[in-house]
């Protein structure tokens, strides 16, 4: 049983109440707590030593990543983060300087994004470090973007470059909060997700939630220099295109938008965010299949992203 099969099994009969607008199955939970103009976003995420970062990773970057992962999920719903709680699971042989440096990295990102860190929990965790973040934020009522709105004919876009994140990006990425809010304000974005498990896997979450398929254009996938370099130097056995599809931890935005808005969006994006690439990589289709067009060859896309327990 892999991660997503387990999640589906555990969330089949979760209790709910009248405050729940969106429960399990999207990037954040969405709650209506009676505020006149906004919904509350609620998210939790964890990073584990040996899984999400190496034991010798700079602790400041580990702290940055722990908070940034939650912020990226808030971005995927076009929200604004507000406050975070931090749970630390620490090995019995406590390295205080390491923990302080971890918090320094977390604090720096929190300050830049206007996020308060308001408490948490500390406990012993045998053998390895674990950091879990619980985050609240907000989005205007009726304004949050979900995974489930993609429609046949929509254009599929992705920000930045993909693949090769283990070269450093997975510890240093900046959540695309400002970009997501700008997109939601100015264009008819129908669905959005952040790329944590890889393009091939996360795109399927959007397609499954929306009941549609997709055709991707191989030549349009934005492959990072790190992925190309790793393959060229023998550090990775994955061809660069496969790395861009499956490596994961890119934390870019993947979204769909009505096709009529595609060209105006690209033009406006270049003016608004000149330092960040935006590529149209394909289109949403009516059938359930996910295909990849490489020149004149159209074939099913068998690749999947990272999956825990697989």
Domain ranges for the chain: 3-140, 155-300
Of the candidates 15, 34, 33, 254, the one whose C-alpha atom is nearest the C-alpha of residue 136 is 33
Distance CA 175, CA 67 (A): 10
Q: What is the pLDDT of residue 309?
A: 59
Residues of the chain below pLDDT 70: 307-310
Supply the CATH classification number for the domain 155-300. Answer: 3.90.650.10
Same CATH topology for 3-140 and 155-300?
Answer: no
Of the candidates 32, 20, 21, 65, the one whose C-alpha atom is nearest the C-alpha of residue 46 is 65
Q: What is the DSSP letter of 225?
A: H
Helix (H, G, I), strand (E, B) or coil at 120: strand
CATH architecture of 3-140: 2-Layer Sandwich (3.30)
Q: What is the pLDDT of residue 238?
A: 93
């Amino acid at each position: 049983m892999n991660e997503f099969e387990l999640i589906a099994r555990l969330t089949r009969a979760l209790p709910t109440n009248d405050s729940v607008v969106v429960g399990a199955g999207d990037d954040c939970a969405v709650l209506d707590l009676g505020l006149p103009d906004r919904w509350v976003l609620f998210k939790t995420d964890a990073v584990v030593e040996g899984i999400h970062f190496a034991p010798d990773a700079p602790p400041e970057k580990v702290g940055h990543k722990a908070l940034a992962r939650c912020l990226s999920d808030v971005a995927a719903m076009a929200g604004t983060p507000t406050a975070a709680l931090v749970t630390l699971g620490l090995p019995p042989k406590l390295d205080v300087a390491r923990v302080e440096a971890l918090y320094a990295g977390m604090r720096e990102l929190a300050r830049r994004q206007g996020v308060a860190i308001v408490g948490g929990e500390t406990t012993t965790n045998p053998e390895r470090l674990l950091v879990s973040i619980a985050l609240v934020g907000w989005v205007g009522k009726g304004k949050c973007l979900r995974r489930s709105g993609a429609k046949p004919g929509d254009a599929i876009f992705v920000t930045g470059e993909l693949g090769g994140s283990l070269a450093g990006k997975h510890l240093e990425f900046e959540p695309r909060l400002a970009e997501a809010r700008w997109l939601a304000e100015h264009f008819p974005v129908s669905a959005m997700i952040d790329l944590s498990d890889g393009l091939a896997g996360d795109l399927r979450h959007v397609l499954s939630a929306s009941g549609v398929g997709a055709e991707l254009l191989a030549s349009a996938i934005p492959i990072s220099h790190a992925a190309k370099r790793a393959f060229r130097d023998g550090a990775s056995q994955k061809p660069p295109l496969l790395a861009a599809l499956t490596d994961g931890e890119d934390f870019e935005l993947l979204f769909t938008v009505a096709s009529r808005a595609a060209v105006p969006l690209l033009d406006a994006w270049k003016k608004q965010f000149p330092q960040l690439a935006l590529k149209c990589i394909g289109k949403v289709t009516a059938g359930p299949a996910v295909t990849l067009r490489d020149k004149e060859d159209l074939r099913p896309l068998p690749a999947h992203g990272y999956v825990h327990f697989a």
